[in-house]
A = this chain, B = another copy of it.
Amino acid sequence: MRIGLLTGGGDCPGLNAAIRAIVKQGLGEYGHQIIGFRNGWKGVVDGDIQPLERQHIRNVLSMGGTLLSTARFHPREEDGSMDAVLQTLEAEKIEALICIGGDGTLHAASKVADAGVKIVAIPKTIDNDVAGTDLSIGFHTAVNIATEAIDRIHTTAESHNRVMVVEVMGRHAGWIAVNSGIAGGAEIVLAPEEPFDMDRVVKFLQHRHKAHANFSIVVVAEGAHARQGSSMEYEVQLGKYGEIVAGAIGERVAAEIQARTGFDTRLTVLGHVQRGGTPTPTDRILGSRFGVAAVDAITAGETNVMTALQGEDIVLVPLPEIAGRVKQVPDDLLRVARVLA
């Protein structure tokens, strides 16, 4: 078979592990050809291909990013780019396509599958909000990086008697915030799942600093927002590409805490470091397992499905089933973050 491969959306650690597994399993086990497209869907539209051989995947297992490059672009019917996708696939005699990406890429993949192309998708997003799978590629590394940063900030908070606010990624779901908050021992975690009340945040900090501590760590997901009608009004601020403005909620939260408590308060916005660098073993294994499973599925004739981790097993879930759903942090995990504060 001649199998196309693309990575779409934001880059993250673990993508190369998946690409490597697809090439190894595709070439070695089945004798397929693997044709990479550069820059995600954009490369399909442009016909920008890179056939992948064993030499391309040497030493990439521990490298972050994606050797195929990526772009935040998705084909649409309105502007003819969807047609261009189908034309390229036909011109290049691509019999099936493996798409690695998040929300947008998976949505596009499902539409391309509807147009008759055999497609298997692999979920990646450091936000971890893709439905149907316990983990998406990139999330685990992001939690590690965020926790390491909180560990570092902890010592400064303690040495200087400060409130340290740390803003992490997570637009529709607070997976990074909640997990790194628990792992880093944060006092307060603000996640999109639970709109917060600044009065209660302030009361908690004042009580804590009076009772038994003189510093605190507050982790804020970029998509966190205040409860309507509560004492702090805040609307999520978007940039020109519709992305959340980094630092916006963090700055606001830090300013409010400083103003209302008088505690010396500082902000750190983790930003891009969360999505780069060497993947954790967990992300390498996840990418490797997803890659092998995707090639197996393609070879077995599956289509319009996504590889997923459920418990200890890799399974296939129908793409239409997960479309438009956001996997949020469950209540019991939010509660653990709260009770360990």
Binds B, one of A89-97, A111-119, A178-186, A189-197: A178-186
User: In the complex, A71→B151 CA distance in Å?
Assistant: 20
* Residue from B25, B152, B339 within 8 A of A29 (CB atoms): B339
Q: Is B155 a contact partner of A289 (Cβ separation < 8 A)?
A: no
Q: Is A152 a contact partner of B310 (Cβ separation < 8 A)?
A: no
Q: Which of A185-217 touch B at CB < 8 Å?
A: 185, 212
Q: Is A144 a contact partner of B28 (Cβ separation < 8 A)?
A: no
Q: Is B271 a contact partner of A336 (Cβ separation < 8 A)?
A: no
* Residue from B21, B152, B164, B179 within 8 A of A64 (CB atoms): B152
Check if A13 is an interface residue, CB within 8 A of chain B: yes
- A65, A71, A140, A276, most chain B CB atoms within 10 A: A276
Q: Is A65 a contact partner of B155 (Cβ separation < 8 A)?
A: yes
Check if A136 is an interface residue, CB within 8 A of chain B: no
Q: Which of A9-33 touch B at CB < 8 Å?
A: 10-11, 13, 20-21, 24-25, 28-29
Closest chain B residue, CB of each to CB of A144: B281
Which of chain B's residues have a CB closer than 8 A to the CB of A86? none
Q: Is A182 a contact partner of B285 (Cβ separation < 8 A)?
A: yes
Q: Which of A252-277 touch B at CB < 8 Å?
A: 266-269, 271-273, 275-277
Q: Knowing A336-B288, A339-B24 are in contact, say whether A65-B281 is a contact too (CB < 8 A).
A: no
Q: Is B336 a contact partner of A180 (Cβ separation < 8 A)?
A: no
Mask, A210-245, CB within 8 Å of B = 1, is: 001000000000000000000000000000000000
Closest chain B residue, CB of each to CB of A179: B285
Task: Determine how close the nearest CB of chain B comes to the CB of A4; give it in whole angstroms.
Answer: 19
Task: Determine how close the nearest CB of chain B comes to the CB of A233; give it in whole angstroms.
Answer: 25
Q: Is B66 a contact partner of A292 (Cβ separation < 8 A)?
A: no
Which of chain B's residues have a CB closer than 8 A to the CB of A277? 148, 151-152, 154-155
Which of chain B's residues have a CB closer than 8 A to the CB of A69? 158-161
User: In the complex, A336→B180 CA distance in Å?
Assistant: 29
Copies of chain A in the complex = 4
- A10, A143, A288, A330, most chain B CB atoms within 10 A: A288
Q: Is B282 a contact partner of A182 (Cβ separation < 8 A)?
A: no
* Residue from B29, B65, B153, B312 within 8 A of A276 (CB atoms): B153
Q: Knowing A183-B285, A281-B144 are in contact, say whether A266-B276 is a contact too (CB < 8 A).
A: no
Q: Is A143 a contact partner of B65 (Cβ separation < 8 A)?
A: no
Task: Determine how close the nearest CB of chain B comes to the CB of A338; give it in whole angstroms.
Answer: 10
Closest chain B residue, CB of each to CB of A279: B183
Q: Is A155 a contact partner of B276 (Cβ separation < 8 A)?
A: yes
Q: Is B281 a contact partner of A24 (Cβ separation < 8 A)?
A: no
Mask, A298-341, CB within 8 Å of B = 1, is: 00000000000011111000000000000000101101100110
Check if A297 is an interface residue, CB within 8 A of chain B: no
4 nearest A-B residue pairs (beta carbon) = A152-B277, A65-B155, A152-B276, A64-B155
Residue pairs across A and B with Cβ atoms less than 8 A apart, 21 shown, are: A11-B156, A25-B340, A61-B183, A64-B152, A65-B158, A134-B311, A153-B276, A154-B277, A155-B277, A156-B272, A179-B285, A183-B288, A266-B272, A268-B271, A268-B272, A280-B280, A282-B282, A288-B340, A289-B333, A289-B336, A292-B335
